[in-house]
Structure 1
Amino acid sequence: MRPTRTVGTALAALGLAAGAVLAPAPAIAAKDGGGAYDVPATQALTWPLPAGTTVVIDGPANVWQMRDFAESVDAALPGVTVVSGSAVEHPGAFVVTIEKEHRRSGTFAGFTKWRTMGPGESYPTGATITLNTYFRESPRSTRRQVAAHEFMHVLGFRHHAGDGITGAQPPLTLEPAPSPDEWTALHAYYG
């Protein structure tokens, strides 16, 4: 199927968006990278970052308002700090590298891939979020939802059956926010 740049197609692409390849130590691993929408939102935080982690967003200035979303999460959660910068500026931080890539096939709007310490290691040292510029002409609410969705994967969310940013039926708004159940899971872990 060749996607168009419609809201519906972008939402379908969100269903394919997570590619986390991490078997986390602190919780039950979603070995499929969170692809299946088969758990409730309150159980979807399955590979959280260690409490107290500093997350650095490193990449182009315009990343579909991902930094705005990340700052709102940072303000609400004492157990994680989100900043913009680079690994050089923030040694030891969890660096999220943002890339933009154009894939005409449009198979995904966004994709998150974890970086680990080395072969056989499951502890994450960072992540790369790839945003498909094929969708750059999608409505602003769609692009913002994609960016927020991918950042929720960085925080450890897999796809879930409930409402919310990583849920099966994400709301499309200009100011995406975690659902009450997603907030419950985030606060239970990150404070």
Structure 2
Amino acid sequence: MITGHFGLAAGVKSGARQVPLWALMLATVWLDVLFVPLVLAGVEGFEDAPGTDGGYGDGIIHADWTHSLAGALLIAGLTGWLCIRWWGRLGGLTIGAVVFSHWVLDLLVHRADMPVLPGDLGDLPRLGFGLWQHHVLTAAIEAALLLAGAMLYHRAARRTGGPIARVNLITALIVAGGAVTLGLDLAGL
């Protein structure tokens, strides 16, 4: 869902002029950024779902800290609070919401592997609607999010009166970057 996350961030930028696009792009994958060192430390991880070939969407994610509902809310709140210093209250709230949007989009695509509480405290039922099991549908949703976000960004950036060549270049980079990540996902890389 990386492509979908980036599309959402580009779309948010259309209404959040005070927050730089790079900050929104980083915020939208912040849970995954924090996931990486925990994977390297053996605290979190992933595996192929039984009976799958390990391709696009065929993983079970063991992200019991970064991708738990309460953990994602805590990370989003802390990140938003820290960002108030640079982009004001509205900018911090925007960053926090974009960080949490990662969890919401992951809820749609993940199998039921996302815990409610950090560390799977209480052993509550795990969450996830499992759209990743429908590869073509998930890829289409990601592509739609990317294109909608890029279009919203482009339209808003043109209204601000910035150099059209720069607006076109950034929009093209958003679409190209999203297409590359979606292609890599579909190729299983």
Going by fraction, where is strand more abundant, 1 or 2?
1
Going by fraction, where is helix more abundant, 1 or 2?
2
Structure whose CA Rg is larger:
2
TM-score with structure 1 setting the length: 0.29
